[in-house]
Every structure is written in C-alpha cells, then in structure tokens.
Structure 1
Amino acid sequence: MGAAGQLIVKRYRLVRALGQGSMGIVWEGHDTLLDRAVAVRQVLLPPELREGRRAELAQRLAREARQAERLRHPHIAAVHDVAEEDGTTYIVMELVRSRSLDGVVASEGPLAPERAAAIARNVLSALTYAHASGVRHGDVRPANILIGHDGRVLLADFGTGALAADPAFGRSGPERSPAHGNPVSATRGASAFLAPERSGGAAPTAASDLWSLGATLHLALTARPPGTAPQDVPGPLGTVMRGLLAKEPRRRLSPEAAEHALAELQVAAPVPASPAGRSRTRLIAGIAAAVLVAGAVGGWAILRPGSGTAVSRTPLAATISPSASPSPTPSKKPAKPLKLKSYRSPAGWRASAPSAWTRRPTDSGIRWYDPRSGAQLTVEVIAQAGTDPLKELSDGQVSLRPTMTAYRKIRLKETPSKYGTAADWEFTWTQRRSQAYLAKGVTYHQYRRIIATESTTSVLTWTTTADQWDRLRPTLVKSLSLFTPPAIG
C-alpha cells in the first residue's frame, strides 16, 4: 500500500489519495523530473492470487499501458509512464482537474440532449482515434469520462480498462470515484456498462467500446444505466443511443454513422448560454471538437461591443513576415505598439501584455482585458504533449463556423517557431446573437496561435472589435514575439 510522500522509482512522489476503485488507488502525484502534477494509479492485485496469475496480470497491465502511452488525443487523458516498485505496478497519467460524468449527473440530473450529444461526440472521437491505433479501452463508463474545470471532455483509464472485466478485479466492496472519493453505486460500476458479449470476461473490441458509449449516453440522458430494458429516449439522440446499444455487435451503429448523427445534432443545437458567474464562452479548438485540447484548450475571448463593424483587410502576416511589410492607409501614421509589461507565470511561461490592461486568472492561464476598447489577450498553457497545432485550429474552424455569421478566414497555416511546432489562425466574424459580452451584429477580429513543445501546449488568443484591429495590431505583433512557453521560460 502506498503512502503520501512515497517516491516511486526515484521520480514520482505520491501526494494524496484521490479515490479507490476495484483496480487500486488513484493518487495525485508529482513528477520530480519534469516538475509537473500527475495522477498515479497504484494497481492492487488481490493478495490471494497465485504467483503465476499475479505475474500474468502484471504483464498484461504493463503491455496495455505501454500501448496507451502512444495515444495523444485532445479527448484522451494521457498515459505518461508505467513503473514498478516492490512488485506493485504504477501507471502515471495526466492529472485532470475535473468532475466525472456520473458525478455531474448525480448532482445535476439528466443532461440536456445537446450537452449529452457534445460529450458523446468527444468520447467517440477519442475511441475512433484509439481504435485506429489498435488500442481498445474496455471500460468506457461515466466514471471514466472527465469533465474538466477548463471545459475539456476526456476519456480516462486507457491502459487499465482492458482488464476491467477480469474476474480478478471483481472484488466486493464500494468503489470510490477518483474525482471525489465518493462511493459509486453498483449500478454505476464497471459491470453495468460492459457490452453483453463481455459478460464472461471476453477481451474488449471496438464494437464493445461502442456499446459502452451507448450505455454511457443512456445514463447521461436518463440518470441510470440501460440494464436489461433500456429506457426509450425520443428524438434523433435516442436513435443514436439505441443504435449503439444493439445486442449483436455487427448490428451496432458504425462510428462513422454515429459521428455524422452527433455532428448534425451539435450544429442544430442552439449555442448554450454561458454558465452563471462566467464571463466568457469557450472555444474548444480541436485539441478535437475544438479544445484544444480540444477538446479543448483555448479560450474564446469575450469583448464589449465596439461602435463599428469595418473589417481590416490587412492580415497580421504582413506585419510579422520578414519578406513583407504592412501597407497602411497613406493618410494615417502607422500605429505604435502600446507599452508592454512582462508577466511570468508560476508554471514557467512568460508573456507580455499592455501595462494598462487588467489581468485576471482563467482556468488554465491568464486573460488581459482593456475595459475601454474591449480588447483581450488570453494565454492558456496545459501539460499536453503530441498536439498538432494546425489540425487543432482546423478542427476548431469546423466547430466554430455554425455559430457565426459572415465568417472570413484570413489565414490558417503553420508558422515557424523556435520552441516547437506552431500554427496561426486569423479570422473575422459577426456575432449571431448576444452572449455574455459578445454583442449581436458586431464584427470581431481574432488571431490565435498554438505552440506545441515536447511537454506543453500553449494557446495565445488576441481578440478585438474589427474597428480596433489596425490600431492594436502592432501591439499584438510585439506581444507574440515576446512569449516563451514553460520549457523555455
């Protein structure tokens, strides 16, 4: 049994227990080598198992976890490492500040169809990616779907889920949610979400993962697992759920058909209002459905409306490319950048923003805001490796466009960066409906940059009303040039 303060393989320090389930204890840990918070699953095998059986399970766990290490997707809680100490297996994972989906349903009741559809689509994208990589999850259920405090949706427990149906882990006793440490009812344990063909301990398949997703969707919509008589859910989302819950694997809805149906439901759904007490709407930019990490990382800057709607026609690229120069209107002097003030985050990244702007923390970074013009700079950094910046921004464009009027892409392309891979997305749009500080009918101009290093993903988002863009553009160029991510800062 582990203990707080214990150092595993001279690298991972156990900080505090987060919860206990049938497969062991989940700890908050600290990676002393990379100086980052992690989650550490201490796998506890039943003591009565024969030595040969224990060795077999330990080998399976290590093999499954090593396969899961290859997965880097915005809706998958990453597996960082597998370690063994004194005969005990430890799986080191991304630590996600979150609530589990079953906890959300338990406290809030059944979800609205559009919210359930968005979550299901994110999880489906994670499964589709994993299946294409040759990895099966095996334990898709609400307890393993995390709703991050930053808005991300992640599927957790890759690497251990494949053993969820093994009789060795069918011990009695209450299971506790790793997110809260609260007892989980038997109807929300692993067995309630296993496909019929896995009831005898069969290995997971892509089809069985899809059945479990359907069972999870059932709970999200009805607050209970499907059992032997699934509750009827009307409408298109009910059709998707029933298609995934088909008893015969070959009759189940294909992932392509499910993705198409869920995407249509999302596009048809109204834009959700901002949660009470929050002053922004988040864009999850791809990092798959759009978050970055997407999933989403990435903030959607919120502005007070400006007085005009003229769109700047000069792309920011002209001001940062060494081979090009801006072409200002001859009758106007080029705008000068505002005075900047440097800021160093406790997480190690550095940014510079106008000294007169107001600084406020966000879930995963800092937002600077000008109360006079409504302009904002948001910097968000997460511990996520393997991000494809261009793909995340491209996915974000697909997800965002249905919420806009008069969208115009100015640039969407990779950009050179001495810190890693990077991409830029610049665009304008007219707000379709008033929401938080976004005003209906006002045209906005946004520039977003994603920088991916070996261990982090940084999202820089600069937004102004269109009539303020030219005046503030030189400040943006200077601010972008001064940013350094954690690995460098």
Structure 2
Amino acid sequence: MASSSGAADRAEDNGRLIAGRYRLLDRIGRGGMGVVWRATDTLLARQVAVKELRLDASLSEEEAAQLRERTLREARTIAQIGHPHVIVVHDVVVQDEQPFIVIELIEGGSLADRIAAHGPLGPAEAARLCRDLLGALRAAHEQGVLHRDLKPGNVLLETGTGRVVLTDFGIAQVAGSTTLTEYGSFVGSPEYTAPERMSGGAAGPESDLWSLGVLLCAAVSGESPFRRDSLGGILHAVLMEEVRPPVEAGPLLPLVRGLLDRDPLRRIDAAEAERLLRAYARTGVMPAVRPDARVRRWFSPTRVDDGPERVRGPGGRHDAGTPRHPSGKLVAAATAAAVAAAGISAAALLMRKGDDPGKDGPSPSVSTVAPSATPGPSTGGPTEPLPVPAGYRMVDDPAGFSLAVPDNYRRKLLASRIFYMSPGDVIRLGVREQKPVRGGPAAEQRRAHAEGPDGNPGYRDGKVTETVYHGRPAARWEFTWDGSSPAEGARHTVDLCWEEGGRMYDLWVSAPVGRLREAERQFAMALDTFVAGKTR
C-alpha cells in the first residue's frame, strides 16, 4: 500500500546501487516495516526483488539494532529452506546499517490479486494450491521457521507456470486492511491468525495450519470467514463465534473443519491434511478425518519476534503468563499448546551410561508398509498408521513396539536399550521400556540430567523440559557431550520420556552436532509412527 512519500522514495532511491551489486529500479511493494524494489543484479545480469527494512524513527537504538538482527537472522534461516514453493532468498546485505534482503523476482500477482480480478478458485484448484502450501510450510517448520502471516496477499502465483510461492516470512510485512506489524507487538493478519495466538498463547506449526484453513476458505469463497467491519469484530469472531465454513468449501469440508479446530491439540497436522488432499486428488471425494488425528508435537519453533508470543529458548515457556479467554475462563487449549510447542524437536535420552552400541540383537520383523493392526485402548496409538515416506521402513521390534526407521539403519541391543543405527553407528536412535517411576517422566529426566556427567564425557548444556506427547505428560532431556572417543567429536542427544499403558518409554537420538538436523527428522518420524506394546 503506497504512502504519500512514494514519489519522494522513487526520486531519491531509483538507480541506487546496494552493496556495489544490486541496482534499485522501481518500487513494487510497501509495508509497515519496509519497501520492496524491483532491482537488477549487475553481477549476474538478472532481475531480482530487494526488500529494504525501514525502521520507525520512534524506536530506540537498542530496539532498532535488535530488529535488524532479527530480520537478518530470519532471512538467513529462510535461505536454507530450499523448497520449490518457498520464495528463494539470494542474498542478505547491510548498507549504511540498513538490512536488504535479495530474493527471487516472481512475475505474477498474489492470490489476493487473482481473487480480486477473476473471482474465487474452484475446489480442485484450491486443493492443489493448498497442497503446495502445505509442502512449503512443512519445509519451513523443519527449519524452525513459523510463517505467522499466511494470507492470500503473501501467496504468489507465477505467470505462465502456475507455480505457487509462499513469501513474506516476517521479513517485510505487506500491509493489509487489518495487518498489525508494530515492533514488539502482535505480528500478523487477525482474520487469518489462530485463536491461541490471539489469546496470547505460544504458537507452533499448528498455528500456521489454522491460517492455511482460513486461506482455503478465502480461496474458494473470496473472503475469510472471520472478516468483519472492525478489528474488535474480527477478534470476537476468531475467538468466540461459531466457525462457519463457506458453502463453497463443501467438497473440502473435512479438511477445512480439521484445520479450523480452535483447540490446537485437536487440530489436524500436516500429514493428515496431505492424506486428505491426496485422496481428493485421486478420487474427487475427500474422506473423513481420522478420529485420532492430532498435531504431531515434535517441533520446537525458533522464535524470532519479541511480541506477546515470545518464549524463552527451546523450552518454550510463555513469558506473558497464562492466557485467558475474553470471557475470563482459562483457555486450556492455548495453555496446552504453549507447553506442547516446547515439545519434542530434538530427540532423546542417551541414558546416564552413554550410548555405546552393543552386540546385534534379534532381527526385527520388517515391512515397508505400516502395520494395519489397531492398538487397544491402553496404547493410545493411531488407529490408522501414518504413511511411511520413501527411504523409511516400518519395523516390528521383538520387544513389542513398532516404529519407522531409515532403510539402512540396523538394530543393536545393549542391556535394556535397543538401538537402530546408521551405517558406521554415527546416528543412533534408541528405545527403552521400564516400569514407571515416582514423579513420572519429569522426575526420571531430572535424575538423568543430574547423573549426566557420570557417563557422558564433557557433559554440558543439559536441560529438562516438561511437555506433552500425544496428549500425555512427557519430559524432554537434551545435552551436548564429547562422544565416546576423541574420534567421535562433539555430539548432541535429545530424549523424550512418557508413560503409556502402564509402562514408561524413552525414545532418543544421538548424533554429531553437525548432523543434528538430519537426526531430528528421523526422530520426528520415529515419534510419529511409534506404537507401544504392539501385539505381534
């Protein structure tokens, strides 16, 4: 949205050379925190877009420095996503203490432009767009990035190819009629913002999925179901009123209702949403949501904003106190989401005695398709298994549990600890089952943390965080250590401990610090597919 200073901007800045390489041509967008320019990369002779962060003059020097650093840090993180439906960040530069983010130039308008010019999308086209955006969100979430402002204006449609591109990850918010982007306050578009964020709770991937559900409604009907004449009306609609999907969303209703569940603990996750969309693309009919589908809380988002959803470190503790519903009643779901967002992003307990592999144990029963058995009530496991992606296989372990592991991992047994290890035993997934202890998972993990230096050379940065796993109280312990030998080098271990079916389980991963991201993905898959006490 242009301002009265637009002409001055163009006269002063057109032709300006940034970092000796990027020549600004014309302004193509403006938001509350910056300006977007069409530019030429003079080194590679290509057209790019350049986002310039322009700081409010009222900010203190310290606040301005923090915002610059936050912007650059987030831009560098997004540059690592590397997904075809996420905007490509080419470069991050600073000139005259002002950050500039250089991104690919998408020739084509936004989804908002498309709806304004040609009307809403049909269900099939909207479903395809939704599936592309799901892939983009999952890739971002794996890098610790929450979008926080998913709306039609931030979805670009490339002319000629139809490519869907998700942009504006908080780098330079594009102002809309109800967008709030002030530093240190709420960030996002209220019509598209999840209720747990509205009520001051912590946000995780599930909050972006709510926004995706609202965007899907807008794509098929032309507007958000929460659009009202005032900001107060929008807040009331998001937090209080009955959620009424538009009639145009009828063919996609199971997905829409699954994404727009106000309780983030009941909201479906990306895997379930993708399952529904795949079925719809294949058959033209969307199946019902699985009764037990829940958000898989393995992800611990990296927080980059200092607004009301700020948290302290990986523990995810909310600084602003317990959020309350406008009626005065506690918003239990938002509180649970704040705890759960601390979650399970880094994996497991390497045990007090280290994680040296032992001898090969009994060979497990292996299948390339998830087992179809339905767990009994005591296990609480899924009634329909998640699809296992290429490169993984389901194993029915002789100890009675099942989970998905990478194809090339092999089983080893050491005392009561079962391992699935990568070639060379570099990355180690472990499982232990035992009787519950007094005080539950949190007490067990705190004891492990206290004894950590005894069996883990160079034990450091240890911490225990209470969380939830599939609705059950759980505790996560993580630490860095020097490895079993000098040749191994520094390693990081993360463990999740929970009680289920009258037993206590630990599921953990240990990996070199340089391969932790890879290990976390494998750990997440193990957690998502783990079934305890499986009957063979």
TM-score (norm 1): 0.49
Answer 1 or 2: higher relative contact order, Cα 8 Å, separation at least 6: 1
